[in-house]
Amino acid sequence: MYTVTNPATGELVEEIENATDEEVRAAIERVHHGYSSWRRRPVAERAKIVSRAAELFAERADELAAIMTLEMGKRINEGRGEVGIVVDIFDYYADNGPALLADEPLELRSGPAVIVKQPIGALLGVMPWNFPCYQVARFVAPNLVLGNTILLKHASICPRSAAAIAEILHDAGVPEDVYVNTFASSRQVPAILADPRIAGVSLTGSEPAGISVATEAGRNLKRTVLELGGSDPLIVLDTADLDETVKATATARMRNCGQSCNAPKRMIVLAELYDEFVDRMSKHVTDFFQPGDPADPATKLPPLASSSAADEVAGQVRRAVEQGATLRAGGNRVGPGAYLEATVLTDVTPEMDAYREEIFGPVVLVFRASTEDEAVAIANDSPFGLGASVWGTDPERMRRVAERIEAGMVYLNRAGGSVADLPFGGIKRSGIGRELGAAGFEEFMNKKSIRL
């Protein structure tokens, strides 16, 4: 069942039945059939349609933001900002796609050859709820320009976002059998992956979901991109303005109510700054991030996406304290709705569950490091490797530390976020493959060698 439940109030707004097995098979046939004609459309035509989609996303930004606020509690201003990133992604691939897909001449020792870049077929996208538009865009935009077709299964709490995205793409000129939204259930995903008409899958979601999809994809020899969880480290080496550093890092952590895969979840602060950093962070999140209505632009802390999500994060905090961590701020469920106070935990040790698990909510973990080497060691002592950030005043020192961190992405004096032309992805248990930038084309591309 797909459901719309307002997380600010707990009100059930709408229920939609899952697609039947027959409807799912029909959707697969549609995208398979659509591929034969879409791949033959000139890339300039496909890019023009993707450019028009960017225009329509911009025109309907308020509508999309309101849907996200209702479905998963995103602050209305953050929803508008998310649509802005979507527009940038569609514009980037529309503008740069034809050049990025140009043939690559090769001069071999034995003579000339060329690499021809071609699509591979119909793809399945399994999308999450935390960024209902952005994460669809980074999978869909490059593949539409490349010439692949898309069967999209969105998160079960985001049916209105799924329908609105499909409407925009079809209004922009994407044929209805090139992008097909399906309200399939998770139970039906293995059968979709087993179907020979599906050439690959991209999933953004939890680690268990990634393992499940990767298992089925491997069993059926399907290309796979996985963007999974993260417990990103943020290292503070030094600062010229501690208050500004605290505010900037807290804002990065609390973005999307802490429900971002590449949010800075573990803040590692050198000893000379640690005590003051913890005191100021605890005061700032308590004073500034007060729960409120996500539809109100003045709100700083919205609800989590669901009551079950809020209960899970509150349980993680409670378990950490029971195991010996120190609660410096917050930690309580507040309501009605799926609200959790902005929270700060310290004294988390490797023996505690919170040390290695991802906490997907408004919770800051702060660690003390005596040296730069110890800070790097704490940063790397994680099963995840999505993003990271290094904060300081010496660019060379920050760059040196960044190169030692085990992650797919490292930012200096900023954390999290995403831009259209920068590859996005991680290592370890944070996933497989890359999206965005030129890399966004290559995961589901046939780089065919032609020997001349």
- Active site positions, annotated: 227, 261
Which pair of tokens denotes residue 7?
A: 């997380």
Token look-up 């809020």 returns 310
| Beta-ladder partners of 224 | 201
- Distance CA(9)–CA(20), nearest Å, equals 31
Handedness of CA 316, 322, 325, 326 (dihedral sign): positive
**Strands of the sheet with 111-119, listed across from one edge:** 104-108, 111-119, 445-451
Stated length of the chain: 452
Residue 64: closest CA among 144, 136, 3: 136
- Distance CA(124)–CA(431), nearest Å, equals 17
Distances (CA, A) of 188 to 30, 192, 284: 17, 7, 45
What's the one-letter identity of residue 304? Answer: L
Token look-up 């898309």 returns 150
Which pair of tokens denotes residue 115?
A: 């690499």
Residue 96: closest CA among 55, 146, 139: 146
What's the burial of 327, exposed, middle or buried (CB within 10 Å: 0-12/13-18/19+)?
middle
Bridge pairing between strands 264-270 and 409-412: unpaired
Q: Which three-class secondary structure state does DSSP give residue 150?
A: strand
| Beta-ladder partners of 429 | none
State in Å, rounded, how far the first CA of the chain is from the last one. Answer: 54
Q: Rounded to the nearest 5 degrees, what angle is found at the Cα of 427, between the Cα atoms of 387 and 140? A: 80
Distances (CA, A) of 50 to 73, 111, 236, 297, 422: 28, 38, 41, 30, 19
Q: Which three-class secondary structure state does DSSP give residue 50?
A: helix
